[in-house]
Amino acid sequence: HRPGEPEEAIPVAAVMERDPPTIGPDAPLLDAVRLMLDHGLSALPVTDGLRPLGVLSEHDILELTGRLMERHPERW
């Protein structure tokens, strides 16, 4: 990004995190939450080796927590 260049011209590569931590699809959700907290991430790439499978986000975790709270209010 060059000084004076409009924000819409900023390439993704200029702001992306390189080599972010990743997690496998079979890892426990708690491990993913810890990894996100330890690295200050709001989203975590899910990979199978080098192959990207998806992204786990804070929103996904909060949505799941809400559903669990509705189904099992006695646990909260």
Spatial separation of the C-alpha atoms in residues 36 and 43, rounded to whole Å: 7
Question: How many CA atoms lie within 13 Å of 57's alpha carbon, on the beta-carbon side?
Answer: 5
**Per-residue model confidence (pLDDT) at position 27:** 98
Residue 1 pLDDT > 70, yes or no? no
Please give the Cα distance from 36 to 33 (Å, whole number). 5
> Token digits for 22?
């990743």
Average pLDDT over residues 20-37: 98
CA distance 29 to 66: 15
> For residues 75 and 41, which has the higher predicted lDDT (pLDDT)?
41
Comparing C-alpha atoms, which of 52, 61, 7, 67 is closest to residue 29? Answer: 61
pTM of the model: 0.79
Pick the CATH number of 7-75 from 3.10.580.10, 3.40.630.40, 3.40.190.10, 3.60.140.10: 3.10.580.10
The residue among 17 and 53 whose pLDDT is bigger is 53
